Chain A
Amino acid sequence: MANTLTIASPGLTEKLAGLRSQIGHTPVRNFPNIFRKENVKLYAKLEWKQLSGSVKARAAFAIFRDAIEKKQLHPGRILLDATSGNTGIAYARIGKILGIPVTLCLPENASAERKEILRSLGVELVLTSRFEGTDGAQDIARSLAEQSPGLYFYADQYKNENNWKAHFDGTAVEILKEVPGITHFVAGLGTTGSFMGTSRRLKKQDVSIRVISLQPDNPLHGLEGWKHLETAVVPEIYDSTLADENLEISTEEAYQMIREVKIKEGLLLSPSSAANLVGAIRVASRLDQGTVVTLLPDNGDKYGELIKKLFK
């Protein structure tokens, strides 16, 4: 990556340090009205309870911090990436605090609501083909970065090692402290960062902990942030040998779980959070004893159009 202007950035290190306390440290809860079985416990981390309202704060912060420390990113340069949503919101929030502008390549069929949120945070949006999803957005981001290497720092969350390391050093450490008896970890695959990083650390601590990855059951699906790896570009940070098992979750099951959790637990989940919970319950239901942990990447606040449809 070219290092053109190295503009002095007074206070950047202090601003980074100030941000650190707003990343991670999310609460854990159970779902007694949804799942109850003797000798089996199920917990989920509420990942929206941190800066930017989603799990993506962890990876975005780690990516910013590493690039700033390596002097690849400073207020004279723009952070560029392809994203369908939450990572973009996290980049935008962090970039605003640090004084670093953000440009995002986003499929044009992202919801109007999502585009409005990003624009209101000062992000420059490059809308990409509605037929190609985030794979197409990645191609455009890559070519923009190649055309103007001095202008952009291409974060490339699908390839950036800081993505999974944020979970290795953060999410998993929190889980081991909060749920020391964990026997199973369950999470969906998108960039695959949260599953890879958390699973690697859990396995390092105790190789008998089983890690189960989840994927949509269909190439066209409504589980934002997830990838159907059989038909999508596989992220470079993904290691297919890590998961002990892979389960498929349908969008319909996730939508039903959104309804159920709202009614029985009073929480409004996003589609990917609901899908993670479907997978975790499926794993927990077949155990005689054990402790299953999953992540709930975000809540339903940003999915107004869908929620309205589900509860009409």
Chain B
Amino acid sequence: MATVIIPTPLRKFTNQTSRLQVEAGTVGEIIEKITQDYPELKKHLMDPQGSLRSFVNIFAGDEDIRDLQEGKTPVNPSSIISIVPAIAGGTH
């Protein structure tokens, strides 16, 4: 199962869990599963149109999924997926 790292400000919505183990084939499926399990996460990650909010970055390993295949970015059981708040709208 892939590991998802939850940033400190969002742990309030995951029962203070910092790492979630998720069975999924893509980053998009991971987001779908964690927002089903923890519904309050959804409005913080997604805009009303269902897209990732522009100031939220999701990394697969060290790479921003916007530079990969976005939601279709494949994951495997050793993948580390991290949700990272953008500072200054900064994509690295």
Which A residues are within 8 Å of any B CB, using their own CB? 84-85, 107, 109-114, 130-133, 135-136, 218-222, 224, 228, 231-232, 251-252, 255, 271, 302-303, 305-306, 309
- Of B30-38, B68-76, B80-88, which binds chain A? B80-88
Q: A228-B9, A232-B9, A251-B55 are in contact. Are A221 and B91 (CB under 8 A)?
A: no
Which B residues are within 8 Å of any A CB, using their own CB? 5-10, 12, 43-45, 47, 53-57, 82-92
Cross-chain contact A111 with B9 (CB below 8 angstroms):
no
Residues of A within 8 A of B89 (CB): 111, 222, 224, 271, 303, 305-306, 309
Cross-chain contact A224 with B5 (CB below 8 angstroms):
no
| 14 examples of A-B residue contacts, CB within 8 angstroms | A109-B86, A111-B87, A111-B92, A113-B88, A130-B7, A132-B8, A133-B8, A218-B43, A220-B9, A220-B45, A224-B89, A252-B47, A303-B88, A306-B90
Of all chain A residues, which has the CB nearest B92? A112
A112-B92, A130-B82 given; 19 more Cβ-contact pairs under 8 Å: A84-B88, A109-B57, A110-B90, A111-B90, A114-B87, A131-B82, A133-B87, A135-B8, A218-B44, A219-B10, A220-B55, A220-B85, A224-B87, A224-B88, A231-B12, A251-B55, A271-B89, A302-B88, A303-B89
Residues of A within 8 A of B43 (CB): 218
Q: Which of A222, A224, A231 interacts with B9 by CB under 8 Å? A: A231
Residues of B within 8 A of A218 (CB): 43-44, 53
Task: Report how far A95 CA is from B7 CA in the complex, Å.
Answer: 33
Residues of B within 8 A of A136 (CB): 8
Task: Report how far A43 CA is from B57 CA in the complex, Å.
Answer: 35
Cross-chain contact B88 with A221 (CB below 8 angstroms):
no
Minimum C-beta distance from B5 to chain A (A):
6
Of all chain B residues, which has the CB nearest A307? B89
Q: Which of A113, A220, A305 interacts with B44 by CB under 8 Å? A: A220
Q: Which of B5, B54, B88 interacts with A111 by CB under 8 Å? A: B88
Task: Report how far A17 CA is from B83 CA in the complex, Å.
Answer: 46
Minimum C-beta distance from B63 to chain A (A):
13
Residues of A within 8 A of B55 (CB): 220-222, 251
Residues of A within 8 A of B87 (CB): 84-85, 107, 109-111, 114, 133, 224
Residues of B within 8 A of A220 (CB): 7, 9-10, 44-45, 53, 55-56, 83, 85-86
Of all chain A residues, which has the CB nearest B86? A222
Complex A-B, nearest 7 residue pairs according to Cβ-Cβ distance, in ascending order: A111-B90, A222-B55, A306-B89, A219-B9, A131-B7, A231-B9, A224-B88
Q: Which of A130, A132, A255, A302 interacts with B54 by CB under 8 Å? A: A255
Minimum C-beta distance from A79 to chain B (A):
22
Residues of A within 8 A of B83 (CB): 220
Q: A218-B44, A251-B55 are in contact. Are A131 and B5 (CB under 8 A)?
A: yes
Minimum C-beta distance from B16 to chain A (A):
12
Task: Report how far A301 CA is from B92 CA in the complex, Å.
Answer: 17
